[in-house]
Amino acid sequence: MNMKKHAILVGLLVVCSFVGCAKGPKGPVVARVGESVLTLDELYKSIPPEYSDFITREQIVNYVKQWIDNKILYYEAIRLKIDKEDKIRDRLKRMKEDLLCAEVISRSSVSPQETKVPEDAIESYYNDNKANFVREKNVAKFLQIVCDDINTAWKVRAQVTPENFMSLAVQFSKVPPPDPKNLSYVKLSDIPPEVAQEISSTKINGTTNVIKTGSTFCIVRVLDKQPKGTMCQLGEVREDIANVLAAKMQNAALEHLISSLRTRMIVEAHLDIITDQRKSPQEGAPPQNPSLPTDTLHTESQE
């Protein structure tokens, strides 16, 4: 099972961890352990919509088997009264708090799905931080015509010019050509070495000879090349910048949410009693940390 399939299975286990505890089953029963029941309807409803088109029966069966194993272990933990141990109860309490906090965030405007970064903010960030956007690898922007057989490839190569490259690509290439206006730079280290070598030795606006790549043959037109150490264009880093700004917007929204909620509650923090635990005070003497400021935060409810 590959990593993606494993991740899907783990996700199902998380989503469905509390499924099957109803008093009476509704629908055909897929599995039963003690008083816990997993019905077919509950099983299918637990599959996230984005996975439903490509999750396999084998993955679902594996989930059911692990659901059974988890229930067996759960009932054994209950029999041993592990859930009554102070350490475990504290961990369960923290897990519950974390889950509820995450749910409050997901239901608010802080949710990443609700965060949309304006294009002008991305451009402004790029212009202010250009010095940080330096290419770490040699890159190139290129078009290619991919053919199944060498005879077709050489036939196309004999006809190709900068002006008709796109029309020949539409006619002969087994890989649909992209719009040249939307092309992105590609790291030469990320493409087949034989193609990278030909691109490196071909001038800008030039066309390579036929290149054998595995079972296919390609012809490449080099539109641009940029060496390592040059500055990235906005299109190359737009997504990274958007992620950075989205995180900042989410943090700011979260701070605003917490600040508005804080005014409704009594909140206290006596920071002056916190000491530096890396320093060992003399036995019998009170902890000393003169560099730590005395700071007491106290917020009364406004209601």
Domains of the chain: 3-84 (no CATH), 135-226 (3.10.50.40), 263-303 (no CATH)
Helix, strand, coil percentages (3-state) for the chain, rounded to 5, are 50, 15, 35
**Burial classification of residue 102, based on how many CB atoms lie within 10 Å of its CB (0-12 exposed, 13-18 middle, 19 or more buried):** exposed
Each of the 303 residues of the chain gets a pLDDT tens digit; together they read: 444 444 444 444 444 444 444 455 577 999 999 999 999 998 888 887 777 777 888 998 999 999 999 999 999 999 999 999 999 999 999 999 999 998 988 888 666 666 789 999 999 999 999 999 999 999 999 999 999 999 999 999 999 999 999 999 999 999 988 988 889 899 999 999 999 999 999 999 999 999 999 899 999 999 999 999 999 999 889 989 998 999 899 888 889 999 999 999 999 998 999 888 776 555 555 555 544 444 545 555 544
Residues 6+ apart with CB under 8 A from 70: 13, 17
Q: Tokens 């965060």 appear where?
A: 115
Q: How big is the chain, counted in residues?
A: 303
Give the helix/strand (H/E) hosting 69.
helix 57-79
Residue 196, both tokens: 């990278």
Helix axis angle, 234-262 relative to 119-128, nearest 10°?
110
pTM for the whole structure: 0.57
CA–CA dist 87, 256 (Å, integer): 34
Q: Please answer whether residues 253 and 108 qualify as being in contact, where contact means their C-beta atoms are separated by less than 8 angstroms.
A: yes
Residue 205, phi-psi category: left (phi > 0), alpha (psi -120 to 50), beta (remainder): left
Q: Please answer whether residues 271 and 297 qualify as being in contact, where contact means their C-beta atoms are separated by less than 8 angstroms.
A: yes
Exposure on the CB side of residue 88, measured as CA atoms within 13 A: 8
CA–CA dist 42, 26 (Å, integer): 9
Is 4 in a helix, a strand, or coil?
helix
